[in-house]
Chains A and B, each alone.
Chain A
Amino acid sequence: MIKIDNVGFAYPNGQHALEGINAQVASGKICGLVGMNGAGKSTLFKLLTAHIKSKTGRIEIKGSSVKKALQQNLISYVPQSDEVDWDFPVLVKDVVMMGRYGHMGFMRRASKTDHEAVDNALERVNLIAFKDRQIGELSGGQKKRVFVARALAQGSEIILLDEPFTGIDIKTEDALIALFKALAAEGKLILVSTHNLGSVPSFCDEVMLINKTLLAHGPVETTFTQENLSKAFGGMLRHHHLVGDDLHDDEDARTLTVLSDDERPLVFYGEQGGQKITQPGNKDD
């Protein structure tokens, strides 16, 4: 559904933010976007929301340009929490209603369908009881869910999530992951940029590793490997390597590798350190 064809972007000072990105993502998939700070994750999101224009190449969404896709309400964007002014005088339901603006006429007057869509979205993220709260009066996890609800109310086929797991507790994270999976099962395409390496295998179908260029893109099982991650992060990851001898006294040669950016760590456990990906528990939080 998203087709990225040789896309590149450079800042006015000539510094390249992205170069020669080629990728295709189909509907019904959750695709993780992983890379260091400044690797171009946000730039890619900005291109997908027509915030900036690519210098080279072309992005096609369902066969049309990004601008056309936006006009057809095909894309919704869930911002990072620190991009939002939480003191703004809007209630939870007002924010979610803004997701419906694209469906409304010139004056943006809400119809019965719009109100129903807002209520449904709020129910899905479990915030219906908070609909009349001013947005600043919510907890971190609730704040995040308001904007997910806005994307749901918008009803677009592609949802862009920018660092959805920063600043929220594990319980909310698990609830969000369950919701994202359900949405993907309904045929939505979800693109998630995240630092949270540990949760990628638990909910992403595929992963894109970027650092200015697209380093690797494919199913999590084959692409989200220690080798590729080392390429994407260079020496920037916290890297803990425990070989068999450190772990126990028997002949077992398997090693334990823990990779962590700043959130839930990613654990590799196996003989070459990269054979099997296991999900760690939630102990770290």
Chain B
Amino acid sequence: MIETLLEPFAYEYMLRAIWVSALVGSVCAFLSCYLILKGWSLIGDALSHSIVPGVALAYILSLPYSLGAFFAGFIAAGSMVWIKKETRLKEDAIIGLVFTTFFAIGLLMFSINPIAVNIQAIILGNLLTISHQESVQILIISIICTLILIFNWKNFLAVFFDERHAKSIGIETTFYKILFFTLLSAATVAALQTVGACLVIAMVITPGATAYLLSDRFGKMISLSIVIGSISNALGTYLSFYMDANSGGLIVCIQTVLFITAFIFAPKHGMLKHRKKEVIHG
């Protein structure tokens, strides 16, 4: 029995997949706390799809994929800001317009160029076939993001909670907003490998949303979110070994199960608690 349970750890590729996904999961979870509170969740989705053409271009030019992804993410974010400024269009329309365009360009580039990379790997993730070099890239990205977040989480909190106050105490709010989107792009690039472009959005929303139901204090919410993100990612990867299933799908399903559990049973903000309150008051 125990032997069967430990079996995945005997394979180097499984071990690597597990720690990489846990790491990426925790960085994304950290960012998700900010993203969901600002109502910017869709921007995260847009970013993850927009980096696909960057990845394609990087493969064609044989540059590191993260460089291309990063660059494309930046252009996408920039064009969203620019269109918003120049037109009267609502934000959701602009986001929808930009990310589908970028995603389409990415697909076109992949289909026209006969390149070795499997397009499925970009869209669905390729966690189990991650190379040593790629895992080092992810490790570096994650460590840098985590350090920046740990040192600045309160500044980010001040900016996200009350921008004018943040400014009035001398915090450079524009700098922090740009920094946040830079971190988000970086984390998205890293997460692209693990769950793919389609499901990245879950990693930067679900853990934070779950933690939000469980806590009234931001610091605690971050810790909970990180625990949820890393454990569900590691567990999903681990289980995919036995189920012979797509690890990205499994990870996101586990996150959703945790969310539903919190949604129903959360001590203060859960559905059951709300029902009880209604019964008492009504």
Is there contact, CB below 8 Å, between A84 and B162?
yes
Q: Are A108 and B212 in contact (CB under 8 A)?
A: no
- Does B169 sit at the interface, judged by CB under 8 A? yes
Q: Which of B157, B162, B216 contacts A91 (CB 8 A)?
A: B216
20 of the cross-chain contacts (CB-CB < 8 Å) are A49-B167, A50-B168, A51-B164, A70-B170, A71-B170, A73-B170, A76-B168, A79-B162, A85-B37, A88-B161, A90-B157, A90-B218, A94-B218, A98-B158, A98-B169, A99-B165, A102-B169, A106-B151, A108-B155, A134-B216
Complex Cα gap A50–B161 (Å): 18
Residues of B within 8 A of A99 (CB): 165, 169
Interface membership of A203, Cβ < 8 A: no
Give the contacts of A17-70 with B (CB-CB under 8 A).
Answer: 46, 49-51, 70
Contact B169 A70 (CB under 8 A): yes
Residue of B nearest to A71 (CB): B170
Structural contact, A150 and B165, CB atoms closer than 8 A: yes
A129 within 8 A of B: no
Measured in the bound complex, the distance between the Cα atoms of B37 and A71 in whole Å is: 27
B123 at the A/B interface (Cβ < 8 Å)?
no
CB distance from B32 to the nearest CB of A (A): 13
A89 in contact with B164 (CB, 8 Å): no
What are the residues of chain A within 8 A of B167 when measuring CB–CB? 49-51, 70
Q: What separation, in Å, do the CA atoms of A154 and B169 have in the docked complex? A: 9
CB distance from B29 to the nearest CB of A (A): 15
Which residues of chain B come closer than 8 Å to A106, judged between CB atoms?
151
A101 in the interface, Cβ–Cβ < 8 Å? Answer: yes
A107 vs B169: C-alpha distance when bound (angstroms): 14
- In B138-185, which residues have CB < 8 Å from any A CB? 151, 154-155, 157-158, 161-162, 164-165, 167-171
Report the minimum CB–CB distance from A95 to chain B (whole Å).
8
Q: Are A70 and B37 in contact (CB-based, < 8 A)? A: no
B215 at the interface (CB under 8 A from A): yes
Q: Which residues of B contact A94 (CB under 8 A)?
A: 217-218
- Complex-state Cα separation, A94 to B153, whole angstroms: 14
Docked complex Cα distance between A150 and B161 (Å): 13
Output the least CB separation between B82 and chain A (Å): 14
Q: Quote the shortest CB–CB distance from B40 to chain A (angstroms).
A: 13
- Answer whether residue A75 sits at the interface, using C-beta atoms and an 8 A cutoff: yes
- B154 near A107 with CB under 8 A, answer yes
Beyond A101-B158, A108-B155, whether A89 also contacts B165 by CB under 8 A is: no
Find the A residue at minimum CB distance from B169: A102
Beta-carbon nearest neighbor of B213 in chain A: A89
Contact A77 B161 (CB under 8 A): no
Query: Contacts A98-B158, A101-B158, A107-B151 hold; do A79 and B217 have CB atoms under 8 A apart?
Result: no
CB within 8 Å for A90 and B217 given contacts A77-B164, A98-B161, A107-B154: yes
Of all chain B residues, the one with the shortest Cβ separation from A154 is B169
Residue B98, interface by CB 8 Å = no
Q: Are A108 and B154 in contact (CB under 8 A)?
A: yes
Which residues of B lie under 8 Å from residue A83 when comparing CB positions? 162, 164
Instruction: Select from chain B the residue with minimum beta-carbon distance to A97.
Output: B154
Would you call A79 and B151 a contact (CB within 8 A)? no
Contact assessment for A101 and B151 in the assembled complex, using a CB-CB cutoff below 8 Å:
no
Decide if B221 is an interface residue (CB 8 Å cutoff): yes
| Contact indicator B170/A79 (Cβ below 8 Å) | no
Give the distance in Å from the alpha carbon of A102 to the alpha carbon of B37 in the complex: 23
Q: Output the least CB separation between B54 and chain A (Å).
A: 31
Q: Are B165 and A77 in contact (CB under 8 A)?
A: yes
> Which listed residue (A77, A88, A134) contacts B168, Cβ 8 A?
A77
Residues in A neighbouring B212, C-beta threshold 8 A = 89
The residue on A at minimum CB distance from B38 is A85
Q: CB-nearest residue of chain A relative to B216?
A: A134
User: A90 and B161 in contact (CB under 8 A), knowing A49-B168, A70-B169, A85-B37?
Assistant: yes
Q: Please indicate which of the listed interface residues B157, B161, B169, B212 has the most CB atoms of chain A within 10 Å of its own CB.
A: B169
**Residue numbers in A under 8 Å from B171 (CB-CB):** 101
Chain A nearest Cβ from B36, distance in angstroms: 10
Q: How far is the CA of A70 from the CA of B167 in the complex (A)?
A: 8
Give A77 Cβ to nearest chain B Cβ, in Å.
5
Contact bitstring B25-39, A, C-beta under 8 A = 1, else 0: 000000000000100
B-contact bits for A124-165, CB 8 A (1 contact / 0 none): 000000000010000000000000001000100000000000
